Structure 1
């Protein structure tokens, strides 16, 4: 089943407007609050063998979609289409963070970001070479995790003091034990095999206070996909994402010692809850010297991530300037300490 939202006023297509957070008509400008749109999700469940052809509700054209696609637009009339049966049953997202940055705002923000590149070529910074900019909802699993940690360590505190003509060193030895209970909530892991995991991780954090109950109307006018990996498959990635925070917390509880020798460490991380969400991402295809560069922008915060080209000339000049600065600082320090020429 394909859903398209029609304007009650003029009958044209309506799509989600990031600026207002409402469903907006592209012709007459009418806007309806998402909360007032009746939910059309059915209880049917999508299977891997289901046909991938759907008919556009506007012009009757056949929409050819990949099995992961849940929202798209008609290539013939441009009408927004939400494929509801791929968002139902166990495939229905629990929450969504809607776009708050429009396509025009995203393009402007990306151009400003390009101009800030210290080592990017001048042509990349000044030229407008955006080939395409696509708003899409990327599937994520969010996890609430609990970690029980037990650590035993042999620690020392070293004190040095002077008494008369002698310098004494006093070393105290301690057996330290830590029994730690840590909770992490809303740990996101992208669940699309098409998306670059490194890019998606760098887009964080999202404003999770903006999570809303899922409604198909949020997807109208955007591309969206269903997950390729379920929460059990991605659980190891969720654990790995918090491992660094766990290590930092352990280190913080063992601070104040001169040395710490960890003897045993046991970390048991369990999934308390997981839920399926859709998060907003603007994907930018930028062409420079006949080569495409892919960038991603957080559809809520405007944060841009990606790897732009590097100017070899600027890179050499930057490192040369850094070397001169370090040498000057070294000369000043040497002069202050009496080692200057």
Structure 2
């Protein structure tokens, strides 16, 4: 497994991507480098074609066996999940990118870099926890916050073009009053609409093992921030490689686009009191797929019942989504206090009467 580590040319320390400056910084000598400088360093250190071919020939065997990489800083051998594309050495904490996981057919075309750093993510997390009265303290303890990870999740982004038509039954209802009598007039129409429909940047998470509901719950992302992919963006973060191909989403895309097209055509049938579609057709479908990585801050917590709870934060805009554990002892205590207060107020009311 080929491993990439971005070294500071000034002191040899590990460079990490800084969401605040959108550049690369060295925590040892405080040097900063632009994306252009990182791209230049990456080209200079790119493996030869012979080495790449050798890596590709071993690809099938590697996927069947345990995924192992050698840390370029301390030499430790680390076993990783087969879909992990970027991580850090568990021993010396050097951030590394497993280049074989983000090359060839698995090379992302685009990436939305982290715009929220770890400190800001922790602030967002703790601020939200203040509003949750019955969450166990262990969920947001200092030890738990240390487990917060910045992860790039793999997505398929789909641009869709097609022709759509709809036939509907519609009515216009008019009421008026003359003296004490109210009149109602209903006119019936047959309405037809057709046209070209376009949908851009429809996201589909391309990872089976992810808690899809929570990762999708922090959508949407501002697509204006999309950058051409560079492995340097992964330095200092974790990343996952896709294990779902675009063919897996064929039926889902067809269903979604038909629903979206129906909504667009219905919205164009304005001026009627009621609209009831009776026939819809979508054809001449054209799709453009792009493989992209998007940023998410994640927190996981194992409850006393053994269940794993997830909490996610959009790494671009801070939107949160989570499934939170409940401290039933705290909930019972509050319920008992409320019951006691109500009982005392009832007694006091009885004495007053």
Flag whether TM exceeds 0.5 (same fold): yes
Of the three residues 192, 196, 215, the one matched with 2:230 is 215
Q: Hey, what's the Cα distance between the residues in 1 that align with 2:83 and 2:112? A: 19
Q: Hey, what's the Cα distance between the residues in 2 that align with 1:253 and 1:259? A: 13
Q: Hey, what's the Cα distance between the residues in 1 that align with 2:277 and 2:220? A: 32
Cα pair 2:129 2:140 within 8 Å, conserved? no
Over aligned residue pairs, what C-alpha RMSD do you find? 2.8
Cα pair 1:115 1:126 within 8 Å, conserved? no
2:95 aligns to what?
80
Q: Please list, as runs of the form range in 1=range in 2, the aligned pairs for 1:4-15 lying within 5 A after superposition.
A: 4-15=5-16
Deviations 1:100-131 (A, max 9, x none): 211122111100011133xx416559963625
Deviations 1:84-111 (A, max 9, x none): 1221122110011111211122111100
Cα pair 2:162 2:196 within 8 Å, conserved? yes
1:306 aligns to what?
322
Name the SS of the counterpart of 2:114 in structure 1: coil
Q: Which segments of 5 or more consecutive residues in structure 2 lack a partner in the other structure?
A: 336-353
2:198 is aligned with 1:183: yes
1:232 aligns to what?
247
Q: Which segments of 5 or more consecutive residues in structure 1 lack a partner in the other structure?
A: 317-341
Q: Hey, what's the Cα distance between the residues in 1 that align with 2:241 and 2:173? A: 57
From the superposition, tell whether residues 98 and 194 of structure 1 become closer, same or farther in structure 2 (CA, over 3 Å).
same
Cα pair 2:166 2:262 within 8 Å, conserved? no
From the superposition, tell whether residues 122 and 76 of structure 1 become closer, same or farther in structure 2 (CA, over 3 Å).
closer
**Shift of residue 191 of structure 1?**
0.3
Cα pair 2:214 2:310 within 8 Å, conserved? no
From the superposition, tell whether residues 315 and 251 of structure 1 become closer, same or farther in structure 2 (CA, over 3 Å).
farther
From the superposition, tell whether residues 313 and 209 of structure 1 become closer, same or farther in structure 2 (CA, over 3 Å).
farther
2:19 aligns to what?
18
Q: Hey, what's the Cα distance between the residues in 2 that align with 1:243 and 1:112? A: 40
From the superposition, tell whether residues 149 and 195 of structure 1 become closer, same or farther in structure 2 (CA, over 3 Å).
same
Q: Hey, what's the Cα distance between the residues in 2 that align with 1:127 and 1:231? A: 37
More helix by share: 2
**Shift of residue 233 of structure 1?**
1.7
TM-score with structure 2 setting the length: 0.80
2:291 aligns to what?
276
Deviations 1:4-31 (A, max 9, x none): 1111111121221222222211211111
Name the SS of the counterpart of 1:49 in structure 2: helix
After alignment, is 227-236 or 36-45 more displaced? 36-45
Of the three residues 173, 185, 189, the one matched with 2:188 is 173
2:30 aligns to what?
29
Deviations 1:234-284 (A, max 9, x none): 233344445554343233223432333322112347343111001111111
2:107 aligns to what?
92
From the superposition, tell whether residues 63 and 248 of structure 1 become closer, same or farther in structure 2 (CA, over 3 Å).
same
Q: Hey, what's the Cα distance between the residues in 2 that align with 1:107 and 1:269? A: 47
Q: Please list, as runs of the form range in 1=range in 2, the aligned pairs for 1:40-189 lying within 5 A after superposition.
A: 40=43, 44=53, 45=56, 47-50=59-62, 52-117=67-132, 120-121=133-134, 124=137, 128=141, 130=144, 132-163=147-178, 166-189=181-204
**Shift of residue 285 of structure 1?**
2.1
From the superposition, tell whether residues 165 and 77 of structure 1 become closer, same or farther in structure 2 (CA, over 3 Å).
closer
1:339 aligns to what?
none
Q: Hey, what's the Cα distance between the residues in 1 that align with 2:156 and 2:180? A: 66
TM-score with structure 1 setting the length: 0.82
**Shift of residue 56 of structure 1?**
1.1
From the superposition, tell whether residues 265 and 240 of structure 1 become closer, same or farther in structure 2 (CA, over 3 Å).
closer
Cα pair 2:154 2:291 within 8 Å, conserved? yes
